[in-house]
Amino acid sequence: MGSDRTVGVLVLAATPIGDTADAPPRLLAELTGADVVAAEDTRRLQRLADRLGIRITARVVSYFEGNEAARTDELAEQLRQGRRVVLVTDAGMPSVSDPGYRLVRAAIDADVRVTAVPGPSAVLTALAVSGLPVDRFSFEGFAPRKAGERARRLAEVADDPRTSVWFEAPHRLTDFLTEAAAQLGGDREAAVCRELTKTYEEVRRGPLAQLVAWAADGVRGEVTVVIAGATAVAVDEAAAVAEVAARVAAGERTKPAVAAVAEATGIAKNTLYEAVLADRRPTTDGK
C-alpha cells in the first residue's frame, strides 16, 4: 500500500483485544504500508507485529496519555505534509477510551482525510455476549475512581432505559459493582465480561448483588461490565386521575395538580389532563 504524497491520511487501526487471529488483513497492510505508525505502547506494537509475522518499516513513535497533547501537533504536521499516519492503541479501536480523539480533531481541522480499519471492540463484544438488550445502549467508559464521583455518575444512568457498558480495572471492580447495586438496585441485571477472546475468557451474568458477592474474592484481567437499563414502570392512569381529583378537592387548581401528578408518574401531561376532563364529564347510559 504505497503512500499518497499529495494528501495525508490518518488511519485509526483497531488491534485485537485478545486473540491475535482476530486481526483483519487490512491491519497488516496498513502497518506495513504506513509512513508513520503512532502507537500507545511501541513495545506492544512490536510484539504484535512479531505475532502477525510482519515487519514495520515506517517511523514508529509513541502516542499515549502522557504525551498525547504534545505529540498531536507533530503528527498533524506529518499529515499536512502528505504522510500516511496509522494510529494503534494497545487493544481495540483508538479514541474509544484510548488516545486518538485529539489527533482526529487535528486532522479534521487540517482538512485531512480520516479513515479506520474496523476490528475488535471490547464494547461491542461484551454487549453482544451479555444477553442484555442491545437495541439501545450507551458507552460510559471508565467510572470515576473517587467514590463520590462514581456514585453520582451511576446515579445519572439509574433511570436510563438503555443498556450501559463500562470499563473497569479488576482491583476496583467490587467497589464499582457495590456502588452500582446501591444506585441502580441489587436486582438490576448485569454481566461482567473478563478476558474477552482470550484463553481464560469468562462472562458472569446475574443481578448486581450476586455479582458483588462473586467479585469479592478478587478478579483478574481486562474487565468490561454491561448493565441493563431501567425498566419502565407500569402507570395506572385511573389512579393518577384520582390523585388529581383529590388534590383539586383539597383546594389545588387543576392544571398545577395535573402537572405535579404527571411529573411524578411519567404520564404525558396532556394525556393526563384529557383523562381528568373526561372523568368529569357526565356519563350517558342511553336513557
Summarised one tens digit per residue, pLDDT across range 61-82 is 999 999 999 999 999 999 999 9
Q: Which residue is listed with cell 467508559?
A: 141
pLDDT confidence band for 285 (50 / 70 / 90): low
pLDDT at residue 5 is higher than 60: no
pLDDT at residue 181 is higher than 50: yes
Task: Please give the pLDDT value at position 262.
Answer: 87
Rounded to the nearest integer, the mean pLDDT of the chain is 93
Query: Could you tell me how far CA 140 lies from the centroid of its own chain?
Result: 4
| HSE (side-chain half, CA atoms, 13 Å) at 196 | 24
What pTM value is reported for the model?
Answer: 0.78
Distance CA 260, CA 247 (A): 10
Residue 287: exposed, middle, or buried by beta-carbon count in 10 A (0-12, 13-18, 19+)? Answer: exposed
Task: Please give the pLDDT value at position 3.
Answer: 46
Distance CA 114, CA 60 (A): 19
Listed in sequence order, the residues at least 6 apart from 241 whose beta carbon sits closer than 8 Å to its beta carbon are 272, 275, 276, 279
| Out of 58-62, 174-178, 237-241, least confident range | 237-241
Task: Please give the pLDDT value at position 232.
Answer: 67
200: its cell numbers: 481464560
Distance CA 133, CA 282 (A): 45
Cα–Cα nearest to 88, from 128, 47, 126, 123: 47
The stretch 187-216 carries a mean pLDDT of: 97
Domains of the chain: 9-120 (3.40.1010.10), 123-227 (3.30.950.10), 237-280 (no CATH)
Distance CA 38, CA 75 (A): 8
In three-state secondary structure terms, 121 is: coil
Classify strands 36-39 and 84-88 as parallel, antiparallel or unpaired.
parallel
Distance CA 169, CA 225 (A): 10
The stretch 36-56 carries a mean pLDDT of: 97
pLDDT at residue 6 is higher than 80: no
From the CA atom positions of the chain, what is the Rg in Å? Answer: 26
Task: Please give the pLDDT value at position 4.
Answer: 45
pLDDT confidence band for 234 (50 / 70 / 90): low
pLDDT confidence band for 2 (50 / 70 / 90): very low
| Other Cβ atoms closer than 10 A to 97 | 17
What percentage of the chain exceeds 90 in pLDDT? 87
Classify strands 189-194 and 202-207 as parallel, antiparallel or unpaired.
antiparallel
pLDDT digit string (tens) for 203-220?
999 999 999 999 999 999
Q: Which residue is listed with cell 383529590?
A: 246
DSSP codes, 219-239? --S-EEEEEPPPPPPP--HHH
The stretch 134-158 carries a mean pLDDT of: 96
Distance CA 84, CA 107 (A): 12
The stretch 263-281 carries a mean pLDDT of: 87
pLDDT at residue 248 is higher than 50: yes
The stretch 171-199 carries a mean pLDDT of: 97
